[in-house]
Amino acid sequence: MPGVFCILLVVPSLVLSITLGTITDRPSRYYPKYRLLADYIQRKLSEAGLREEVGVRFARDVDQMITLMKRGEVDVFVDSVYPTLKVCRATGCEPILIRWKNGVRTYKSVVFVRKDSPVRSVKDLAGSRIAFDSPYSTSGYLIPKKLLKGMGLKLIELKDPSHKVPRDSVGYLFAGGEENVVAWGLVYSHPWTRILKASACSQPSTVPPGLKGSAGRILVS
């Protein structure tokens, strides 16, 4: 019977590399966080006797991340459920760990309005605008969008927030981060707060210190 032999060579002087990757359109903002993670992994590998250099690489969208992984330029992909599933289906990678967000293991999507908003139900959103997190956010876009559509609302993306929204639809735009979602939805001094009826993000979300006193009301979760 033919046999298969596997030989593992350990070369102490060989320095290998591992690259962490994620999807974002704001790499300068997320680099410090992922650099900390890379340094932590590198330190732990060093303690185990492995000389690994751990780097960080960002992609602007799912398609670019798929390309990077197929080329071997990204070894470990870290992101939320939706982009992870798309990347895994295209590259054959497998999820092995759950990423905690803001120090919590699980969280949910919420659609919220200001506490003094006249909006009392989802139906009141017809003909208005809502802010989502980003196009690849599972809890800040995909889930609340599906939830609102399931409640009978028609959603259309707005390339310009000033564009008119049909009476039977809800126009949406991307805030580019949970902090922006909260600011746009709750702070009257923000210029876009005047044209938005609601916002959607994860709960618990990252609320900037300056917004701690803002009063919001959850419309649906």
Residues 159-187, mean pLDDT to the nearest whole number: 81
Look at residue 195 and tell me if it is in a domain.
yes
**124 lies in the same domain as 181:** yes
216 and 135 housed in the same domain: yes
CATH number at residue 63: 3.40.190.10
pLDDT for residue 195: 65
Please give the pLDDT value at position 8.
36
Q: Are residues 47 and 114 in the same domain?
A: no
80-83, long-range: CB < 8 A, 24+ apart: 80/136, 80/137, 80/138, 80/139, 81/138, 82/136, 82/137, 82/138, 82/142, 83/23, 83/136, 83/138
62 pLDDT exceeds 90? yes
- One domain, residues 125 and 44: no
The pLDDT mean for the chain works out to: 80
Asked whether residue 215 falls in the same domain as residue 118, the answer is: yes
Whole-model pTM? 0.70
The pLDDT confidence band at residue 204, using thresholds 50, 70 and 90, is low
Number of folded domains that form the chain: 2
User: pLDDT at position 139, please?
Assistant: 85
201 falls within a domain: yes
In a domain, 5, yes or no: no
For the cut 90, the answer to whether the pLDDT of residue 19 exceeds it is yes
The pLDDT > 90 percentage for the chain reads: 29
- Same-domain check for residues 112 and 216: yes
Residue 74 lies in a domain: yes
Whether residues 123 and 209 share a domain: the answer is yes
- Shared domain for 137 and 199, answered yes or no, is yes
- Give the range among 2-11, 50-59, 71-80, 176-185 with minimum mean pLDDT: 2-11
- Who contacts 175 (Cβ-Cβ below 8 Å, separation ≥6)? 131, 132, 133, 134, 181, 183, 184, 199
Q: Which domain holds residue 74?
A: 16-91
Q: Of 91, 119, 153, which residue is a domain's last? A: 91
pLDDT recorded at residue 209: 47
Average pLDDT over residues 100-110: 76
Please indicate, yes or no, if residue 9 is contained in any of the structural domains. no
Residues 117 and 212 in one domain: yes
- 192 — pLDDT class (breaks 50, 70, 90): low
Domain assignment present for 216: yes
| 208 and 112 in a common domain | yes
Residues 121, 202 within the same domain: yes
pLDDT score for 38 = 95
Residues 169 and 203 in one domain: yes
pLDDT digits (tens, 9 = 90+) for 109-118: 878 787 777 8
Task: Give domain status of residue 100, yes or no.
Answer: no
